[in-house]
Structure 1
Amino acid sequence: MKTSLTKLEGLKRSLVVELPVDTFNQKTERIIKSLASKVRIDGFRKGKIPASILRQRVGGSAKSDAANEIVTETLVDALKDADVSPAAQPSLVNVDTENSNSFIYTLEFEVFPEIKVGSLKSLTMDQINSKVTEEDEERALQDLQDRSTEYKTVKRKSKEGDRLIIDFEGLLDGESFEGGAAEGFEIVLGKGTMIEGFEKGLIDIAPKKTVEVAATFPEDYHVENLAGREAIFKVTVHEVGSPTEVKRDDEFAKKFGEKDFETMKSRMSKQMQVELESRLVQQNKDTAFSVLLDANDFEVPEGSVSAESLKLQQDMESRMEQQGMPSKGKLPAEMFQEEAARRVKLGLLINKIATDGEIKAEKDQVDAKLNEMALQYGESAQQMIDWYNTDPSRLANIESIVVEDMVAKHVADQAKVTMTDKTFLEIMSPQN
C-alpha cells in the first residue's frame, strides 16, 4: 500500500491510496465466479455460461463491487499509513480500475484543526456568588401557602388579598388591542401580577359591578406599541373570593407529599440550595466558555458544523411539535449555522483543555451529578437514575456534562476573576 496526502483549502485533505492491481483483479474474479451459479442467460444452462460471456455480462458490476469492498477493507489502514484522522467519514471521489499496474482510489475529507489554547492566565471574567437566606426560604414557604389558599365566595366589596373572577377589555385611544381582553380571568388583589393601577382600581368593588380602570404599561413592556402607554379597562367583577387561612402545620405538609412540616421545610431548603448551586455553575460556566471562545479563534470543519446545524434544526422542530406548534415545512438550516459553529468550536476547545489537563469524570462525580439532577424528579428520582445507569451512551452524556463543569472551573481558576454577589431571586428569576 502507498498513500499520498495532499492539503487542500482550509481543513480539507485529499488522500490517494495505491494498491497492487492483483488485489483488485483477484477480488473481481472471485465475485464473477460467485455470480456464475446465479446469472441466467438465454441459450445457456444455469452454471454453464462460458467465462468470457459471463465476464462480458457482469464484469462491470463485479469491478464496482470489488472496488467498494477494497475501499472498505483498506480505509482504516490507509488513514493510519498517512497518519491522518478525518473529522467525519471520508468521501470517495475517484476510483481508477483501468490502471494496468495499480488499483488507485482517492478520498477527500476534513481534519480537525490543530488547537493551541491561549494563556488562560491572561483571561479576565466575571463570576457570581449567591446563597439561600432565611428570607428566601420564607418567601418559598409563603408561595406554597399562597398556592394552597382556597377562596370562599362572599357578597361584600373587594379588598386586598381577595381573589376576583373578572371579564375585562382594554382600550387604547378608544380602540381595543391584541391581548387586551379576557373572560373568567382570576386575579388576587395585592400580588402585583398586573400592570400598574389595574389591581388598585379593583379594590372596594362589589360583585356583579362593572367599572372602568386606568392602568399604565411599564416603559420596558415587551409589546413595543403598548410600552409606557395608559389604557382604560372596562372590568366586570363576577365574583369576590375571601382567602381562607392556611396554617403551616403537618396537614399543610401532607398536601405536598411530606410526612410533617419540619421534613418538608428541610427538604425544601436542601432543594433550593441544590437548584441555586446548579444555576450558579451553569451561569459561571457560560461566562467562562464565552470568554474562552472570544480569546481563541480557529477554523472548524464545515462538515461538523453542518451536522450540528441539522441536529439543532431537528431538535427545534421536535420541540415545536411537542408544544403543538408544528413548523410549516423545514426550518432553514442557515438559521442554526452560527450557533452550530459556536458549539463545534467550544467542543474542540473543551476536549483540548481536558486532554492536556488530564481532566476526566470519575464515577463518584458522575453519581453526584445524577443525584443532583434526580432531585427534580421527586418520587421518580431512582427510576431516572436507573434509566441513565442502564445505558452507557446515556451515562456518557452525564460524563460529558461533568467534564464541561470541570473544564469551566479550571479555566476560571486560571483566569483573573471578579466575583459579584447576587441574591437568590436575581439568580433564579433574572427577569425580576
Structure 2
Amino acid sequence: MQVTETLNEGLKRGYQIKLTAAELEEKVNEKLLEAQPEVQMKGFRKGKVPMALLKKQFGPRVLGEAMQESVDGAMNKHFEESGDRPALQPEVKMTNEDWKEGDDVEVSLEYEALPEIPEVDLKSIKLEKLVAKADDADIDEALNNLAENAQNFEDRRKGSKAKDGDQVVIDFVGKVDGEAFEGGTAEDYPLVLGSGSFIPGFEEQLVGVKVDEEKEVKVTFPEQYQAENLAGKEAVFECKVKAVKAPKAAEIDDELATKFGAEDLDALKKQVAERLESEYAGASRAVLKRKLLDALDEKVSFDLPPSLVKAEADQIAHQLWHEENPDHQGHDHDKIEPSDEHNKLAERRVRLGLLLAELGRKNEIEVTDQEMTQAVMNQARQYPGQERQFFEFIQQNQQMQQQLRAPIFEDKVVDYVFELAEIEEKEVNKDDLKSAVDALDDE
C-alpha cells in the first residue's frame, strides 16, 4: 500500500492512498479462509467448501469489506505515525470511479488537522472572585416575594369594580351558535384577572364588573385550540359575578413558613439565606469563569481549523437571527451569512474550546458514567411521565450524549484551572454582583 502526500497548507492535509489489486486479493483470501470452517453449502460438509466456490459465492461482498478495512487500516496507521488528529471527520473518496475487479484501488484522504496547542502557565493566571453574602435586607426582600406569591384574596367593599389582578368568582355557561358546549360550564370559578388562564380576550372583558352583575363575554377560540370542535369558533360566555376580591399578600409568619415546607419562620429565613447564597455563588462562578476565559484567550495564539470556525460562525449567526426573529419558528429562511463580529466570536470560541479540550486530555480529565447519568436524569425531569423514553433516546443518540457531556467536561477543566490559578476574593453586595453578571450579556 502506498500513501502519498498531496496537500500540506496550514492545517489542511491531503493524501493519496493506493491499494494494489494483489494486496486486495490477499486480504479477500484471508477473510475467506477465516470464514471457511463455519460455512455450510449444499453438497459439502461444514468447513469443506472449496475456496474457488467460496470466492464465487461470497467474493463480491467480502471484496467490499476487505477494501473498507484496508482503507480504514491505512488511515489509522497514518494518524498513528503522523500524530495528526483531524478537526472533523476526514473526507475519503475513491478517485478511480471506473474501478473494476482486478484494478488497483485509489483513494483520496483530506482533512484539517488540529493545531499544536501551546503550553500555558496556569499558575501565572491571577483572578478576582466576587463574593456576596445574603444580608438581612436581601432575606427580607425574598420573604416579601414569597408572601406575594402566597397571596390571599379578600372581598372588596360592596359595589367595588373588579381591577386587573383581582380575583372574580363567577358562574358561567359557554355557548357556540347558541348551544352550550362540553367543558364550557362552571360554578363558583375563581379567576384572577390578568393571569392569562382563560382564552385571549376573556379576562379583559371582566375588568370593571361588580358583584351580582351579569356579563356576556364574547371571544373567538384560537385556530390552534386543543379542542378541534371549538378551534376558530366564536363563543359567548354568560357570566354571573358572585364575588370580587382584592389580592392581599400573606403575612410573613410561621404560617407562611409552613406553606413553604419549613417548621417556622426562623427555619424559613435560614432556607432563604442558603438559597440566596447558592444563587450568589453560581453568579460569582459565572463571572469568574468569564474572567478566566478572557485570561486564557490573551495567553494563547495558534492557527485554527477553518472548517471549525466556519461551522461555529454559521451556528452563531443562525441562533442570533432566530433570537431577533422569534416569530419565525422554522428554518425555511434564506441562508444567514455570518458578520465579521460573528466570525470573531467564533474564532474565540473555537480557540478556547480547543485549549480546554487539550488541557483536559493532557490532565486525563474525563466525565464519569455517574456524572452522565445525573445529567440525563436532570434533563429527564423536564419530561414527566416520559422519563424512560427519554433515557432510551439518549442511549441511542450519540450527538445528544455529546451535548450533555460537553458542558460537564468544560466545567471540570475550568475547576482544574481554578485550583492552579491565583484567585483573590473580593466581598461585594448583591447589586454589584448583579451588575457584573449583566455585563456578561453585554460583551
Q: TM-score, normalised by structure 2?
A: 0.56
Q: How does 1:288-327 map to 2 (within 5 A)?
A: 288-313=292-317, 315-316=319-320, 323-326=326-329
State the match for 1:215 in structure 2.
Answer: none
- Is contact 1:152-1:243 (8 Å) kept? no
CA deviation profile, 1:338-360 (whole Å, cap 9, x unmatched): 33332222221111111222223
Unaligned residue ranges in structure 1 (runs of 5+): 28-62, 156-162, 166-183, 186-240
* Residues 277, 249 of structure 1: alpha-carbon distance in 2 compared, 3 angstrom cutoff: same
Aligned-residue identity in percent: 21
1:358 alignment partner, SS class: coil
State the match for 2:277 in structure 1.
Answer: 273
**Partners of 1:265 and 1:383 in 2: CA distance:** 36
State the match for 2:355 in structure 1.
Answer: 349
State the match for 1:116 in structure 2.
Answer: 118
Give the letter for the 1:402 counterpart. Answer: I
2:338 alignment partner, SS class: helix
RMSD: 5.1
* Residues 428, 303 of structure 1: alpha-carbon distance in 2 compared, 3 angstrom cutoff: same
1:144 alignment partner, SS class: helix
**Partners of 2:103 and 2:376 in 1: CA distance:** 60
Q: How does 1:74-153 map to 2 (within 5 A)?
A: 74-82=70-78, 83=81, 84-92=84-92, 95-96=95-96, 102-149=104-151
- Is contact 1:388-1:395 (8 Å) kept? no
- Is contact 2:314-2:338 (8 Å) kept? no
- Is contact 1:317-1:326 (8 Å) kept? no
CA deviation profile, 1:21-43 (whole Å, cap 9, x unmatched): 3567999xxxxxxxxxxxxxxxx
CA deviation profile, 1:242-276 (whole Å, cap 9, x unmatched): 874631235435665x4755465454444333322
Unaligned residue ranges in structure 2 (runs of 5+): 28-59, 166-192, 195-244
Q: How does 1:259-270 map to 2 (within 5 A)?
A: 261-262=264-265, 264-270=268-274
- Is contact 2:128-2:426 (8 Å) kept? yes
**Partners of 1:334 and 1:378 in 2: CA distance:** 33
2:134 alignment partner, SS class: coil
- Is contact 1:19-1:104 (8 Å) kept? yes
**Partners of 1:74 and 1:318 in 2: CA distance:** 45
State the match for 1:198 in structure 2.
Answer: none
* Residues 362, 136 of structure 1: alpha-carbon distance in 2 compared, 3 angstrom cutoff: farther
CA deviation profile, 1:165-216 (whole Å, cap 9, x unmatched): 9xxxxxxxxxxxxxxxxxx99xxxxxxxxxxxxxxxxxxxxxxxxxxxxxxx
- Is contact 1:152-1:244 (8 Å) kept? no
Give the letter for the 1:324 counterpart. Answer: D
Matched, 1:2 2:2: yes
* Residues 383, 114 of structure 1: alpha-carbon distance in 2 compared, 3 angstrom cutoff: same
* Residues 293, 71 of structure 1: alpha-carbon distance in 2 compared, 3 angstrom cutoff: farther
**Partners of 2:320 and 2:276 in 1: CA distance:** 30
Tell me which moved more, 361-370 or 277-286.
361-370
* Post-superposition offset of 1:106: 1.8
**Partners of 2:296 and 2:116 in 1: CA distance:** 16
State the match for 2:38 in structure 1.
Answer: none
CA deviation profile, 1:309-344 (whole Å, cap 9, x unmatched): 4444555566667x4344882452414433333222
State the match for 1:18 in structure 2.
Answer: 18
Q: How does 1:148-159 map to 2 (within 5 A)?
A: 148-149=150-151
- Is contact 1:370-1:398 (8 Å) kept? yes
CA deviation profile, 1:121-164 (whole Å, cap 9, x unmatched): 33333332223333322221122224455687679xxxxxxx99
Matched, 1:286 2:290: yes
**Partners of 1:410 and 1:304 in 2: CA distance:** 25
Q: How does 1:124-203 map to 2 (within 5 A)?
A: 124-149=126-151
**Partners of 1:385 and 1:164 in 2: CA distance:** 43
Give the letter for the 2:345 counterpart. Answer: E
State the match for 1:405 in structure 2.
Answer: 411
Give the letter for the 2:418 counterpart. Answer: A
**Partners of 1:269 and 1:385 in 2: CA distance:** 36
- Is contact 1:132-1:273 (8 Å) kept? yes
* Post-superposition offset of 1:13: 0.3
- Is contact 1:118-1:296 (8 Å) kept? yes
- Is contact 1:285-1:409 (8 Å) kept? no
Give the letter for the 1:19 counterpart. Answer: L
**Partners of 2:382 and 2:253 in 1: CA distance:** 21
* Residues 402, 98 of structure 1: alpha-carbon distance in 2 compared, 3 angstrom cutoff: closer
2:307 alignment partner, SS class: helix
1:107 alignment partner, SS class: strand
* Residues 331, 354 of structure 1: alpha-carbon distance in 2 compared, 3 angstrom cutoff: same
- Is contact 1:67-1:95 (8 Å) kept? no
**Partners of 1:275 and 1:369 in 2: CA distance:** 20
Give the letter for the 1:144 counterpart. Answer: L
1:391 alignment partner, SS class: helix
Give the letter for the 1:14 counterpart. Answer: G
* Residues 385, 151 of structure 1: alpha-carbon distance in 2 compared, 3 angstrom cutoff: farther
2:429 aligned to which of 423, 426, 431: 423
- Is contact 2:150-2:249 (8 Å) kept? no
1:406 alignment partner, SS class: helix
CA deviation profile, 1:380-402 (whole Å, cap 9, x unmatched): 7x988995698355565554333
